[in-house]
A and B are shown apart, each in its own frame.
Chain A
Amino acid sequence: MMLNKMPARAAGVFDEKMTEAIANSRVLVVGAGGIGCEILKNLVLTGFPSIHIIDLDTIDVSNLNRQFLFHKEHVGYSKSQVARISALSFNPDVEILAFHDSIISTDYGVSYFKQFKVVLNALDNRVARNHVNRMCLAANVPLIETGTAGYAGQVELIQKGLTQCYECQPKAPQKTFPGCTIRNTPSEPIHCIVWAKHLFNQLFGEEDPDQDVSPDTADPEAAGEAGASALSSEGTTSGNVERKSTRAWAAETNYDPEKLFTKLFGDDIRYLLSMENLWKKRKPPTPLEWNNLPGKDSPPEQHTGLPDQRVWSIYECAQVFSTSCTSLQKDLRGRTEGDHLVWDKDEKHAMDFVTACANIRAHIFNIPVKSRFEIKSMAGNIIPAIATANAIVAGLAVLRAQAILRGDINSCTSVYLRPKVNHRGQLFVPEKTLTPPNPKCYVCAPKPEVAVACNLKQLTLKDLNAAFKDGLNMQAPDATIEGKGIVVLSSEPGETDHNNDKTLNEIGLSDGSALLVDDFLQNYEVRVRLQQEDEEKMWRIVPDADKPMPAPRPANGANGSEPKPGPSTSRDHDSDSDLEIIDEDDDEPAVKPPKRRRTEMNSDEVVELC
């Protein structure tokens, strides 16, 4: 491919081979955030003649401390479009095509990917990373995967057949909390924050039965007389409320803040107290009364720091609860029937509501209360991001892209930017060798295969579809029974809806049956073996029968959404991180791959059913 537009450049800066390789390249940058802006700048200055950049996001004021192609006047505009215009001012001789779009679309299929010499990922979420990984494998295009979190970062090459792919190592599942911890026995601030976000959804957002916020009478720990006797007892409203949705109950009271408060932080807590087994070894919670709240008569303490860093008294929390409830309800009422609010950490009342509710609940359960600033980090999964780490990672990524174009792909080992130097004084630590593909990877192996463990007598086809999407990161799965050719799941809308509620047994699948599942969007096909497991409530992905899934590692962020069973893919959040940090050990022989500690910094936390 010889591109007609050649950027005018002083000769000799690169050797001839490099100059020619760059002149004949077209590259794709996926993401125009912190790393994407930096990558685009480097590509344009280096003289890459043809660049595509894609991002579905718009510019926010909190981006401006690092996404330097954007200025205050650009807030609200498309990231990819503004990035293009800013970058062209550095070098008007290059061609940049900007797409304000999601990369997960039929518009960007395998043939689209095939036009690029290199793809550079600058993404902030796992779903899109998985997708681009599969597209680059299918198109056989080298992919440079990048990420940062705070001071740390990484650059990794993914090339089909040569290196491991983004999905070769199973990712740590998201941190999960048992539902009963959230509903009955919180012991940490995050439990209260998750509960408060669920409450928001119950009252104003999309109602989800898995995000129930009332006491859980099915808590195995409370089994026995306590719950039962409490249920039959009179005098509390909670017995009734139990059978009604929180939303319906709130609507009946016209979202009266005092009544809501009394139910949530008085009656429900008294109900929990009646489940006596729960409190045998725990400090029991203390119900609150609207008219007798701590901090009512004391003036706010002297505070230095940001206003959001001041911790509110419980009395203040109740006031904020009241005003935010009223505003949110007004917002909800103003919408069309069936529409609902979506929780957003940057929406004042939504964030106020969660702060107030989380702190009131924390106080009740003797858990430390936190400032709005801290709760925003935890509830919004905010991962700190700075200009310098992004600049370093993007610089390394483009140097790696140059090496690939020059034909030195074998030298492009992963590089880790460490927050502090290691014992050898290294700040950027390259791996010694490329990490070869995992032959049992269910994505990049020549014949991908994976097992799904489930109870075939209970799991429905609809659930299985969710397993393919959330567990195997597929976008539009089609499944046929191996050997029979019967289509049981189709990505064509409506085509296999009649199967939705049938169990796997009912459609003739049994232990050891196999399905051929393919995703035309990802150009990906996998053979799925089914394993009968009576105990499994939903489903579980078993990537490699010889190796158990790695133990979950602590996630940095925290979020209370996604109450889906089984490991679920994480959603977008607020940084460019999806970081893998390496524990390198220099005394190990070079051939042995380093021990990996995948620090998944963008995982939403999910609540599991108990």
Chain B
Amino acid sequence: MVETNDIELSAAEAEQYDRQIRLWGLESQKRLRAAKVLIIGIAGLGAEIAKNVILSGVKSVCLLDNEKLKEVDRYSQFLAPPDKIGENRAEVSLTRAKALNPMVDITAETKSVDNLPDSFFTEFDIVCATGLKQEQLERINNACRDSNKKFLCGDVWGMFGYMFADLVDHEYSEEIVQHKAQKRGPDDTEKTAVETFSITVKRRAIYVPLQNALSVDWMKPEMRSRLRRGDPSYFVMKILMRFKDEYNRDPDAAKRKEDTAILLRMRDELVKELSLPAGFIVDALLQDVFGTMAGAAAVIGGVIGQEVVKAVSQREPPHNNMFFFNPVKCVGFVELYGQ
């Protein structure tokens, strides 16, 4: 949980954050400015998350990435200057990240997550991981969980994307708008008016770790019934995660044809394995999964950025526990898995 400090905002902070303080209040802004955030994977999605989190006015952001800037990153990674291809993605993003908001302390870390101890991750109040394999995500999630630190992860493949959240045991306040008809004075124009006012309630949300959400038993009747009204996005994510595990990379734009064939084969296997309805996972969902499209990174990065703000400020209900963006239908939805 983020500790607030009692130091008042400076005039400069009040001025710069005016429009958001008017939305989420001063208390939220104070919590934000005390929060330490780690962002893992500074490709297109990581850059979007970093931008949103830095603009919101947190205390510090660490950009962690051991990979080099690639040609394909130029479609979505706006923090890295395009002439820095071949250099470390976190390091080359530092200058522009700092320029977004000089009031935030921003650092870069170039080690692989596999070479960092659990204690590295738990230094932060919240971790956002992108571009990792399932087992890496689960390891960091569990480390955070053991220290009661919040964990988010997500990825974008082409136009498709997801987010997962484990806020452990999360307390938050929620503003609920209520309406009340009110008698007015003898104004001839306004006999009665509906007055809206809001009350703040305290709530609590319990989360499950990533491994639970990813190991759902689809043979159970209650999960089967979800399929009927469901969206195939969860399975698209599973297929793409399997691809990453099996080939140790994401689908490659340069091998568009071969990789699409592999993905469709993996789709067919999954359909068989889980006895999913035929035609449930349409081909179109697996055909635009190359690189990162800027529009999709902005969408998923926007959702994850907002979840960081909600988690840190403990205001408004955070998503529990998975969000999917299905680009074929242009729908974005939240579902709870693994509970």
Contact = CB atoms under 8 A, between A and B. Distances in A.
Asked if A and B bind, the verdict is: yes
B237 interface: no
B331 A429 contact: yes
Contacts of B254: 10-12
Interface in A1-50: 9-15, 38, 41-43, 45-47
B319 interface: yes
Interface in A410-454: 411, 413, 415, 420-421, 424-430
Interface string B298-339: 110111011001000000110100010101011111110000
A45 B78 contact: yes
B241 interface: no
Given A12-B256, A62-B16, A398-B295, A187 B189 contact: no
Contacts of A392: 298-299, 302-303
Given A46-B293, A151-B306, A391-B302, A185 B185 contact: yes
B71 interface: yes
Contacts of A14: 288
A427 B290 contact: no
Interface residues of A, number: 75
A229 interface: no
Interface in B158-214: 158-159, 184-189
A92 B184 CA distance: 61
A398 B294 contact: yes
A415 B333 CA distance: 13
A428 B302 CA distance: 12
B49 to A, nearest CB: 10
Given A10-B74, A42-B295, A392-B299, A384 B334 contact: no
Interface stretch (B17-25, B109-117, B275-283): B17-25
B333 A65 contact: no
B304 to A, nearest CB: 9
Contacts of A399: 159, 293, 295-296, 299, 327, 330
A404 to B, nearest CB: 13
A388 B295 contact: no
Interface residues of B, number: 76
B18 A68 contact: no
Nearest to B23: A384
A41 B189 CA distance: 48
Contacts of A575: 19
Interface in B7-32: 8-9, 14-23, 26
Contacts of B184: 187
Contacts of A90: 78, 82
Contacts of A386: 19-20, 23, 56, 306
Nearest to B299: A395
Interface string B33-45: 0000000000010
A592 to B, nearest CB: 19
A483 interface: no
A178 interface: yes
B295 A46 contact: yes
Nearest to B13: A306
Given A15-B287, A421-B319, A428-B330, A391 B52 contact: yes
B57 interface: yes
Interface in B73-130: 74-78, 81-82, 99-102
Nearest to A46: B294
Given A46-B75, A178-B187, A388-B302, 12 more contacts: A14-B288, A71-B100, A90-B82, A306-B8, A386-B23, A387-B302, A388-B52, A395-B302, A396-B299, A426-B332, A430-B330, A430-B331
Interface of A: 9-15, 38, 41-43, 45-47, 61-62, 64-66, 68, 71-72, 89-92, 150-151, 178, 181, 185, 187, 220-221, 280-282, 304-306, 308-309, 377, 382, 384-392, 394-400, 402, 411, 413, 415, 420-421, 424-430, 575, 610
28 contacts: A10-B72, A11-B254, A13-B75, A13-B291, A15-B256, A38-B298, A41-B294, A42-B294, A42-B295, A43-B294, A61-B15, A65-B55, A66-B55, A72-B102, A187-B184, A304-B8, A306-B21, A384-B19, A386-B20, A386-B306, A387-B305, A391-B299, A394-B298, A395-B294, A396-B330, A400-B330, A426-B331, A428-B332
